[in-house]
């Protein structure tokens, strides 16, 4: 690997803002038909097209079909439609699940374009807090978590005649729970329900064994070849290697956009800066296009994510720096080159911490193949793996199912919490004995049941409690936050609690633009609340709500205060949905005004498993696990001299050390008062283990 010669010697003009920034996805109605005619030709070139009659026949004849086909062969966009066109959804609809929200949205848009209809009409999508479907929707792309939520009110999924579980290799907790539920639905609806399980990288035998009697179908061929390249020797720093490789491709390869897989937002932001700077310093070359660097990660506002999908303007090459959210299902038009660092940030349970943490780990071979697959969607492509071929061979063939590596009590991306809570709400009495394809570790299940017990969602017999457990299962937030909402109703601060939960559920609120960081920090100062991040977010919410909705006043306010306007719009939307949920559950909406004590007590009532206490040396320890944590650098509590004695926090993140993110100051005496059974048990365990 080498940097293009002469780099860093001469500064070029900085990049101009991308002119496609304001484009909207979708187009005028009259263009739809023309567009769909062109797309019809494209879909007929896909490998699944020639297999369509056989696939439809197999689905007709078999209740469960496992489809394996190369990335880009057309599974996601075509198979749901084949089944719909063949009448297999008659009297109902086809649901197609996706592990990621961005995939559900963009694939639905593509299929709507191909069918010449508006999104939300015959084809729609449903993701948490965003439903784009109507009574006319017959093909619905949705996250697997959303299908689980639907199963809560409609356990036999009567509205669907066919469910397609796509990207089944990803094995999120939600998909694994769905496997078990759908197996039961198959048993109970033998005549009018069909299940299709799809992936490019799947152990078909394991699936046909699990879904007894299932057939497997292989779709041969891929549309375009992808040449895979490895490094000759191992790289010391995958970030440096990624930057070098991106510039190398830019300088040496023909036209086409570049998709780089990194692990997280911080890393993406620093690489974005470094690549832009290095590109600006390249020696002038009239034949070389401009470089536009675009980030792509889950916390990015949806509109910013969709910008990645807009074509680059003439004479510009896009470099998209993405986490694994661009790894499966999606097609980013124009991408011909993939740079795979070989790493991913994934959530796993740390027995040492007694909690989940995000850790950078090597990808599996299946993930590496999915990543490479993003390069050959519209033309032949190249994938540059920043590791040696020998290292690839040593990677695990598939990713360990999330259900086997996480704390099941709080899987944050599940819209309704925790699979044990979901399962209980779905009427599964014996969660430990549930027909999981790969059962989670018994200890993890028991731990999550324990947490649900501590939250009052289960009783001592392990049954769902009424009303608390049933209410928690219906709220579209993690059970700990659900508990905050329920407690806030009783304590008299639900107006504030709903706002806080909406704010922690939206995207990153505070905007710190490069070059204006100090100005932004200064502008944020007025919201800072000494008592913690939740109250700071509440202050932003209140200030924003006070601004008139007329004209562009709210946008102006956001700009002046360096607040992300989309995050605020999303928070307002979540806020109104949560309010509706609380009203439906009969929870009163009452305000505590300026009495933050009441609100902080409500936060303790739900977040008590995430309580940490200051030690003599000024460090913190999580009370439940005894592990050391530091308050996250982004927290308002870091800016103060006095360290609070006790905090509760949203989540643990592990970078160079363990951090507690989003923390609020609480009084230690509230913990045993508001969660007596939990802290009595903790105390007993510590005595038993000889701890302090
Ligand atoms: N938004 C889009 N823009 C342009 N082309 C697209 C788009 N979506 C799909 N395609 C085309 O359709 C092909 C098939 O996409 P599809 O997602 O159905 O494949 P797949 O077999 O499900 O792949 P994967 O396993 O990677 O998800 C792509 O390779 C691409 O050529």
Please give the span between the terminal C-alpha atoms of the chain, in angstroms, as a whole number: 53
Residue 377 Cα: closest atom of ligand 1? 29
Q: In what order do the strands lie in the sheet with 226-230?
A: 226-230, 381-385, 335-340, 257-261, 316-322, 290-296
**Confidence (pLDDT) at 349:** 63
Determine the distance separating the centroid of ligand 1 and the alpha carbon of 176, expressed in angstroms: 24
Pocket lining for ligand 1, CB < 6 angstroms: 46, 69, 71-78, 106, 110, 200, 223, 328-329, 331, 333, 373, 377-378
Separation of alpha carbons 651 and 663, rounded Å: 9
Confidence of residue 34 (pLDDT cuts 50, 70, 90): low
Residue closest by Cα to atom 6 of ligand 1: 331
Annotation: CATH topology of 32-218: Rossmann fold (3.40.50)
Residue 374 Cα: closest atom of ligand 1? 26
Domains 32-218 and 223-402 share a fold: yes
Question: If you search the block for the tokens 């308002």, which residue do you land on?
Answer: 636
Residue closest by Cα to atom 14 of ligand 1: 74
Determine the distance separating the centroid of ligand 1 and the alpha carbon of 185, expressed in angstroms: 29
Cβ-proximal residues to 318 (8 Å cutoff; 6+ apart), any chain: 257, 258, 292, 293, 294, 308, 312, 334, 335
**Confidence (pLDDT) at 475:** 86
**Confidence (pLDDT) at 538:** 98
Separation of alpha carbons 347 and 345, rounded Å: 7
Orientation of helix 101-115 relative to helix 75-85, angle to 10°: 50
- Do β-strands 160-165 and 381-385 pair in parallel, antiparallel, or remain unpaired? unpaired
Residue 106 Cα: closest atom of ligand 1? 1
Determine the distance separating the centroid of ligand 1 and the alpha carbon of 449, expressed in angstroms: 40
Q: Max alpha carbon distance in the chain (Å)?
A: 74
Q: Name residue 382's beta-bridge partners.
A: 227, 337
- Do β-strands 620-622 and 611-614 pair in parallel, antiparallel, or remain unpaired? antiparallel
Separation of alpha carbons 299 and 140, rounded Å: 24
Which of 526, 477, 524, 536 has its CA nearest to residue 502?
477
Confidence of residue 351 (pLDDT cuts 50, 70, 90): low
Is it the case that residue 406 has pLDDT exceeding 90? Answer: no
Residue 79 Cα: closest atom of ligand 1? 18
Determine the distance separating the centroid of ligand 1 and the alpha carbon of 72, expressed in angstroms: 5
Q: Name residue 163's beta-bridge partners.
A: 95, 195
Determine the distance separating the centroid of ligand 1 and the alpha carbon of 328, expressed in angstroms: 10
**Confidence (pLDDT) at 682:** 67
Residue closest by Cα to atom 3 of ligand 1: 333
User: Please, what is the average pLDDT of the chain?
Assistant: 86
**Confidence (pLDDT) at 683:** 63
Cβ-proximal residues to 195 (8 Å cutoff; 6+ apart), any chain: 63, 64, 65, 162, 163, 164, 165, 182, 185, 186, 211
Determine the distance separating the centroid of ligand 1 and the alpha carbon of 198, expressed in angstroms: 14
Residue 567, CA atoms < 13 Å, CB-side half-sphere: 20
Separation of alpha carbons 339 and 579, rounded Å: 44
Collapse the DSSP code of 361 into the 3-class scheme (helix H, G, I; strand E, B; otherwise coil) and give the result. Answer: strand
Residue closest by Cα to atom 18 of ligand 1: 74
Mean pLDDT along residues 601-611:
96
Confidence of residue 287 (pLDDT cuts 50, 70, 90): confident
Q: Name residue 68's beta-bridge partners.
A: 199, 218
Mean pLDDT along residues 650-660:
80
- Do β-strands 658-665 and 646-654 pair in parallel, antiparallel, or remain unpaired? antiparallel
The interface predicted TM-score of the complex, written ipTM, equals 0.96
Cβ-proximal residues to 384 (8 Å cutoff; 6+ apart), any chain: 229, 245, 249, 337, 338, 339, 340
Q: What is the DSSP string of 400-417?
A: PPGGGTS-GGG-TTSSS-
Separation of alpha carbons 108 and 114, rounded Å: 10
Determine the distance separating the centroid of ligand 1 and the alpha carbon of 596, expressed in angstroms: 50
Enter the CATH code of domain 475-692: 1.20.120.1080
Choose one of 70, 74, 219 to mutate for the ligand 1 pocket test, by most ligand atoms within 8 angstroms of C-beta.
74
Say what percent of the chain tops pLDDT 90.
54
312: phi then psi, degrees, rounded to nearest 5: -70, 145
Choose one of 49, 55, 77 to mutate for the ligand 1 pocket test, by most ligand atoms within 8 angstroms of C-beta.
77
Mean pLDDT along residues 554-574:
91
Residue 110 Cα: closest atom of ligand 1? 1
Residue 74 Cα: closest atom of ligand 1? 18
Q: What is the pLDDT of residues 211-259, one digit of tens each?
A: 988 999 998 877 788 999 999 888 889 999 999 999 999 999 999 999 9
- Written as six digits, the tokens of 275 are 């690549």
Residue closest by Cα to atom 30 of ligand 1: 377
Say what percent of the chain tops pLDDT 70.
89
Secondary element (H or E) of residue 391: helix 389-394
Determine the distance separating the centroid of ligand 1 and the alpha carbon of 531, expressed in angstroms: 48
**Confidence (pLDDT) at 371:** 95
Residue closest by Cα to atom 11 of ligand 1: 377
> Are 396 and 364 spatial neighbours (Cβ–Cβ below 8 Å)?
yes
Determine the distance separating the centroid of ligand 1 and the alpha carbon of 47, expressed in angstroms: 11
Residue closest by Cα to atom 8 of ligand 1: 331
Mean pLDDT along residues 404-422:
54
**Confidence (pLDDT) at 300:** 79
Choose one of 259, 331, 369, 375 to mutate for the ligand 1 pocket test, by most ligand atoms within 8 angstroms of C-beta.
331
Q: What is the pLDDT of residues 664-692, one digit of tens each?
A: 999 999 999 999 888 877 666 666 655 43
Residue closest by Cα to atom 4 of ligand 1: 333
Is it the case that residue 655 has pLDDT exceeding 90? Answer: no
- DSSP character at residue 464: B
CATH H-level, domain 223-402: superfamily: P-loop containing nucleotide triphosphate hydrolases (3.40.50.300)
Domain positions in the chain: 32-218, 223-402, 475-692
Q: Is 111 exposed, middle or buried (0-12, 13-18, 19+ CB in 10 A)?
A: buried
- Written as six digits, the tokens of 196 are 């299709």
Separation of alpha carbons 610 and 188, rounded Å: 41
Higher pLDDT, 40 or 63: 63
Cβ-proximal residues to 230 (8 Å cutoff; 6+ apart), any chain: 385, 387, 388, 389, 392
The secondary structure of the chain in percent helix, strand, coil, rounded to multiples of 5, reads 45, 20, 40
Mean pLDDT along residues 174-178:
87
Determine the distance separating the centroid of ligand 1 and the alpha carbon of 48, expressed in angstroms: 11
- Written as six digits, the tokens of 29 are 């109605």
Residue 550, CA atoms < 13 Å, CB-side half-sphere: 1
Q: What is the pLDDT of residues 49-64, one digit of tens each?
A: 999 999 999 999 999 9
Identify whether 359 is preceded by a cis peptide bond (ω within 30 of 0): no
Determine the distance separating the centroid of ligand 1 and the alpha carbon of 332, expressed in angstroms: 9
> Are 212 and 66 spatial neighbours (Cβ–Cβ below 8 Å)?
no
Determine the distance separating the centroid of ligand 1 and the alpha carbon of 87, expressed in angstroms: 23
């Amino acid at each position: 690997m080498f940097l293009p010669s002469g780099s860093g010697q001469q500064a070029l003009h900085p990049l101009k803002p991308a002119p496609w920034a304001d484009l909207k996805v979708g187009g005028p109605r009259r263009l739809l038909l023309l567009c769909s005619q062109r797309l019809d030709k494209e879909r007929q070139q896909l490998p699944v097209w020639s297999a369509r009659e056989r696939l439809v026949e197999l689905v007709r004849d078999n209740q469960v079909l496992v489809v394996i086909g190369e990335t880009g062969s057309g599974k996601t966009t075509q198979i749901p439609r084949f089944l719909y066109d063949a009448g297999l959804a008659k009297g109902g609809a086809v649901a197609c699940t996706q592990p990621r929200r961005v995939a559900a949205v963009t694939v639905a848009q593509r299929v709507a374009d191909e069918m010449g209809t508006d999104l939300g009409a015959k084809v729609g999508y449903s993701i948490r807090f965003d439903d784009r479907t109507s009574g006319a929707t017959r093909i619905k792309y949705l996250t697997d978590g959303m299908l689980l939520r639907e199963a809560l009110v409609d356990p036999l999924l009567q509205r669907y005649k066919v469910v397609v579980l796509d990207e089944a290799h990803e094995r999120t907790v939600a998909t694994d729970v769905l496997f078990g539920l759908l197996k039961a639905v198959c048993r109970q609806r033998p005549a009018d329900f069909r299940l299709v399980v799809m992936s490019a990288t799947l152990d078909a035998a394991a699936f046909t064994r699990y879904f007894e009697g299932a057939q497997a179908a292989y779709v041969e061929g891929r549309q375009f070849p992808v040449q895979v390249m490895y490094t000759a020797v191992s790289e010391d720093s995958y970030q440096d290697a990624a930057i070098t490789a991106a510039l190398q491709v830019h300088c040496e390869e023909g036209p086409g956009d570049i998709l780089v897989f990194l692990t997280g937002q911080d890393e993406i932001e620093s690489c974005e800066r470094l690549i832009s700077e290095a590109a600006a310093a390249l020696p002038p070359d009239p034949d070389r296009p401009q470089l536009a660097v675009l980030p792509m990660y889950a916390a990015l506002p949806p509109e910013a994510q969709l910008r990645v999908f807009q074509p680059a303007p003439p004479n510009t090459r896009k470099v998209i720096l993405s986490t694994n959210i661009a790894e499966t299902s999606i097609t980013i038009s124009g991408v011909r080159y993939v740079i795979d660092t070989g790493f991913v940030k994934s959530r796993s349970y740390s027995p040492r911490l007694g909690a989940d943490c995000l850790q950078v780990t090597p990808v599996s071979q299946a993930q590496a193949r999915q990543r490479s697959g993003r390069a050959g969607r519209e033309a032949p492509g190249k994938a540059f793996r920043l590791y040696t071929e020998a290292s690839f061979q040593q990677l695990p063939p598939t990713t360990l199912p999330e259900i086997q590596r996480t704390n099941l009590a709080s899987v944050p991306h599940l819209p309704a919490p925790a699979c044990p809570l979901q399962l209980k709400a779905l009427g599964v009495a014996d969660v430990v004995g549930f027909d999981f394809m790969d059962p989670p570790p018994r200890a993890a299940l028991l731990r999550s049941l324990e947490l649900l017990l501590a939250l009052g969602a289960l009783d001592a017999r392990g049954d769902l409690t009424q009303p608390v457990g049933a209410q928690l299962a219906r709220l579209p937030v993690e059970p700990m936050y659900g508990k905050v909402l329920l407690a806030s109703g009783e304590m008299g601060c639900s107006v504030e609690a709903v706002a806080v939960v909406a704010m922690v559920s939206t995207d990153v609120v505070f905007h710190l633009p490069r070059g204006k960081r100090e100005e932004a920090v200064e502008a944020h100062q007025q919201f800072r609340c000494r008592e913690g991040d939740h109250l700071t977010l509440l202050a932003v919410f209140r200030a924003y709500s006070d601004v008139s909705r007329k004209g562009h006043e709210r946008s102006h306010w956001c700009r002046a205060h360096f607040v992300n306007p989309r995050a605020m719009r999303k928070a307002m939307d979540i806020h109104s949905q949560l309010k509706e949920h609380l009203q439906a559950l009969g929870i009163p909406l009452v305000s505590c005004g300026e009495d933050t004590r009441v609100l902080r007590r409500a936060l303790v009532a739900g977040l008590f498993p995430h309580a940490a206490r200051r030690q003599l040396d000024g460090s913190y320890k999580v009370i439940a696990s005894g592990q050391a944590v530091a308050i996250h650098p982004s927290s308002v509590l870091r800016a103060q001299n006095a360290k609070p004695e006790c905090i509760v926090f949203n989540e643990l993140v592990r970078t160079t050390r363990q951090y507690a993110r989003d923390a609020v100051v609480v009084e230690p005496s509230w913990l045993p008062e508001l969660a007596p059974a939990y802290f009595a048990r903790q105390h007993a365990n510590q005595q038993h283990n000889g701890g302090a």
